[in-house]
């Protein structure tokens, strides 16, 4: 064991295990909240296996509390214990905590269907599938169903305990299994894992395979916990970190992971260089997606001038397309690689092979590597004009041959994040923009620079906004040009970027992206179709979808028919346990949380029946939308990227201020 690990272990051995919160000012290492029974399960000798049961017991304690500090402390202290065993155990532990088997951009997901899980549960617990379905209806949670089954099950022989590594590797094998007999193979692998599980292990194993732990352990919390554990580990016996040091370590790690999203490499770097120096070893790298910077909402041009008072800023067209991050690298052997990522790190190179092929046309010969932030927009190759977002949505997600492409696309570049082996995100926007225009060239019908103007007068901003609408854009993006406030901030929704749309002046500030979780049968001329739909926002901390409105306007008859056909593919018998819905708004049909819709509304109001942001702006009420109207389907967004409950609360508070 290393000296650092030994020092940390020595502190833990003297610890009185408790469930107290860590002190506010001092982040004391002796405020361990992981139960003693869990500590004793983990052999901290290097190279030993960490039992899956240890993780599950901590998850059980996390599920029993809603206190964020307590959840962070529980996770931190588990990771600190595992950290002493070594990187080979820490990486799978972290990945299981965030319920992933690979980085997002690799496209390897669990999300195993209920039918496979039910078969495995029936086989592992000796019950009929009909009984498993019945229990699922009663308990509302397959994890609880299998836990109950394992509790009542007697076995002649005690199986070999599961390790975290075994579970993680099995999950990856399950996720990668494909082909004609994949269902049988997946069912067999899951059944084998369940046979070796205790009741509590079975509960969290099944929930993980479903794709959601539903215990309130957000990925951002795991990142904070990992940073804290790494700082304590790095300090050894040199004293307790201050709260400010914990805060700095957490911010550093979040920044690193937003630029270099591979936990295994980042954890390896933490072991080799320490948490304080990891940012110098895991940096922005072409072919690894950067979490995009996002904008806040602004409702009026004069408010923008107040916001940027005394600071230079620029106004850019806000294009109505798909956020696209183009990565390119020319390697030493002369080979080239181009990858295009969506805003949620999905590899879209197969969707846009025409963009990838045209890189050599718009990148000058001096360019050997780059990362461009762009908007891919549907483009009329004859008229040279922007087409609608709906047109872009009709493009296939993967094009086998470019001859199949029926929807032309033009990329509008607005930022340069990396150029010729140098990260640029800390540079001012003005400099990044100069470098972009110096090293890249506009190519008709393929690649353009976002139209922009550096303005200072309200009338000029308003006029430019009107011009953007005339040119088939959504509005304007307003960005700080110089100084620290103009750096590129991956993953952050910053006040240094504001979005201004024409709709903002008269209605609710921004449109919302909401998840369809249910539908109501139609009446009158809509008999036989769905008349309206139940929509929800997403709470990432609680991992739940919270009802926000019933929407029935903005649809043509043809659209209603199309939506019904698509949504019926994802019908479920009962609501998910992570749906927060009042009995008064219970729909006739429930859906899996798959489809995201963009919605506009007149304003937000407090509601006693809808659950969005419940308790955040009013102790006894949630928030709902008044006069919601359907705009379009957002195929480019995952359900977890829907408007969050926190954003709903912020929009409601901003509305009160502006009114």
- CA-based diameter of the chain, in Å? 81
The pair of structure tokens assigned to 449 is 């620079």
Measured CA to CA, the distance from residue 426 to residue 206 in angstroms comes to 43
> What DSSP designation does 62 have?
H
How far apart, in whole angstroms, are the C-alpha atoms of residue 479 and residue 584? Answer: 44
571-590 pLDDT, tens digit per residue, is 998 899 899 999 999 999 99
CB 116 within 8 A of CB 211: no
Of residues 149 and 443, more confidence is placed in: 443
d(CA 22, CA 561): 55
Domains and CATH numbers, the chain: 3-99+218-250+261-268 (no CATH), 114-210 (1.10.3260.10), 294-505 (3.30.470.30), 512-658 (2.40.50.140)
Q: Which two tokens stand for residue 497?
A: 């970027």
Going from the C-alpha of 474 to that of each of 160, 321, 396, 466, 510, the distances in angstroms are 59, 10, 24, 10, 11
Query: Highest-confidence range of 287-291, 466-470, 527-531, by mean pLDDT?
Result: 287-291
Our answer to whether residue 254 is catalytic in this structure is no
Tokens matching residue 541: 């901390």
Measure the CA dihedral 205/210/211/215, to 10°: -60
Q: Give the pLDDT confidence score for residue 602 in this predicted structure.
A: 82
Catalytic residue among 11, 318, 499, 501: 318
Q: What is the DSSP string of 282-318?
A: S---TTSPPPPPEEEE---HHHHHHHTTTS-EEEEEE
Identify the top-confidence range among 150-159, 253-262, 304-313.
Answer: 253-262
Do the bridges between strand 422-423 and strand 409-419 make them parallel or antiparallel, or are there none, so unpaired? antiparallel
Ranking 61-65, 187-191, 456-460 by mean pLDDT, the lowest is: 456-460
Place of tokens 């993006």: 477
Residues 599, 630: contact at Cβ < 8 Å?
Answer: yes
Q: Give the separation between CA 293 and CA 432, rounded to whole angstroms.
A: 15
pLDDT digits (tens, 9 = 90+) for 6-56: 444 433 333 322 333 333 333 444 455 677 777 778 887 777 899 999 999
For tokens 């955040």, what's the residue?
616
Separation between Cα atoms, residue 468 and residue 463, nearest integer Å: 9
* Residue 75 pLDDT: 96
- The structure's pTM equals 0.85
CA atoms within 13 A on the CB side of 559: 13
Whole-angstrom Cα distance, residue 595 to residue 639? 7
Q: What is the structure's pLDDT at 415?
A: 99
Mean pLDDT of the chain: 89
pLDDT at 40: 79
């Amino acid at each position: 064991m290393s000296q650092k690990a030994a020092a940390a272990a020595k502190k833990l051995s003297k610890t009185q295990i408790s469930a107290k919160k860590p002190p506010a000012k001092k982040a004391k290492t002796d405020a361990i909240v992981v139960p003693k029974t869990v500590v004793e399960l983990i052999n901290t000798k290097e190279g030993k296996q960490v039992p899956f049961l240890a993780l599950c017991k901590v998850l059980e304690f996390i599920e029993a509390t809603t206190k964020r500090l307590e959840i962070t402390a529980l996770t931190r202290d588990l990771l600190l214990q595992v950290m002493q065993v070594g990187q080979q155990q820490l990486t799978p532990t972290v990945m299981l905590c965030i319920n992933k088997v690979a980085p997002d951009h690799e496209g390897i997901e669990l999300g195993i269907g209920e039918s496979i899980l039910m078969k495995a549960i029936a086989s592992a617990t000796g019950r009929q599938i009909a009984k498993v379905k019945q229990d699922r209806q009663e308990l509302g949670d397959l994890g609880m169903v299998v836990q109950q089954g394992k509790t009542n099950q007697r076995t002649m022989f005690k199986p070999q305990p599961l390790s975290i590594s075994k579970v993680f590797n099995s999950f990856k094998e399950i996720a990668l299994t494909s082909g004609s007999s994949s269902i049988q193979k997946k069912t067999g692998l899951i059944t084998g894992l369940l046979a070796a599980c205790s009741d509590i292990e079975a509960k969290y194993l099944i929930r993980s395979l479903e794709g959601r732990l539903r215990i309130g352990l957000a990925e951002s919390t795991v990142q904070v916990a990992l940073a804290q554990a790494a700082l304590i580990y790095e300090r050894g016996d040199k004293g307790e970190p201050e709260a400010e040091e914990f805060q700095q370590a957490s911010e550093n790690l979040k920044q690193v992971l937003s630029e270099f999203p591979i936990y295994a490499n980042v954890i390896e770097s933490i072991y080799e260089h320490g948490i304080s120096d990891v940012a110098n070893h895991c940096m922005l790298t072409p072919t690894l997606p950067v979490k995009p910077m996002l904008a806040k909402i602004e409702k009026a041009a004069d408010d923008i001038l107040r916001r940027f008072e005394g600071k230079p800023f620029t106004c850019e067209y806000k294009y109505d397309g798909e956020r696209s991050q183009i990565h390119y690298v020319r390697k030493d052997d002369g080979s080239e690689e181009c990858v295009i990522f969506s805003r949620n790190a999905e590899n879209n190179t197969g969707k846009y092979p025409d963009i990838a092929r045209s890189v050599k046309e718009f990148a000058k010969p001096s360019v050997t590597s780059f990362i461009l932030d762009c908007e891919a927009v549907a483009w009329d190759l004859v008229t040279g004009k922007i087409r609608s977002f709906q047109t872009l949505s009709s493009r296939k997600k993967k094009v086998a041959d470019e001859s199949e492409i029926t929807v032309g696309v033009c990329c509008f570049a607005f930022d340069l994040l990396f150029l010729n082996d140098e990260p640029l995100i800390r540079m001012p926007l003005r400099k990044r923009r100069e470098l972009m225009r110096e090293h890249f060239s506009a190519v008709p019908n393929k690649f353009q620079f976002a139209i922009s103007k550096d303005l200072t007068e309200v009338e000029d901003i308003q006029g430019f906004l009107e011009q953007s609408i005339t040119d088939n854009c959504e509005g304007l993006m307003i960005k700080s040009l110089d100084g620290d406030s103009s750096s590129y901030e991956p993953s952050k929704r910053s006040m240094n970027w504001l979005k201004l749309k024409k709709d903002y002046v008269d209605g609710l500030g921004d449109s919302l992206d909401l998840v369809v979780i249910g539908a109501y049968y139609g009446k009158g001329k809509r008999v036989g179709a769905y008349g309206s739909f139940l929509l929800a926002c997403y709470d990432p901390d609680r991992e739940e979808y919270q009802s926000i409105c019933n929407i029935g306007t903005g649809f043509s008859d043809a659209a209603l028919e199309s939506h019904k056909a698509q949504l019926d593919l994802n019908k479920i018998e009962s609501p998910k346990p992570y749906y927060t819905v009042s009995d008064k708004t219970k729909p006739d049909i429930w859906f899996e949380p798959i489809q995201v819709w963009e919605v506009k509304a007149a304003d937000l109001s407090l509601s006693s029946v809808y659950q969005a942001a419940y308790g955040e702006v009013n102790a006894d009420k949630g928030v709902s939308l008044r006069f919601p109207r359907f705009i379009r389907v957002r195929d480019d967004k995952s359900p977890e990227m829907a408007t969050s409950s926190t954003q709903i609360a912020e929009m409601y508070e901003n509305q009160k201020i502006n009114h």
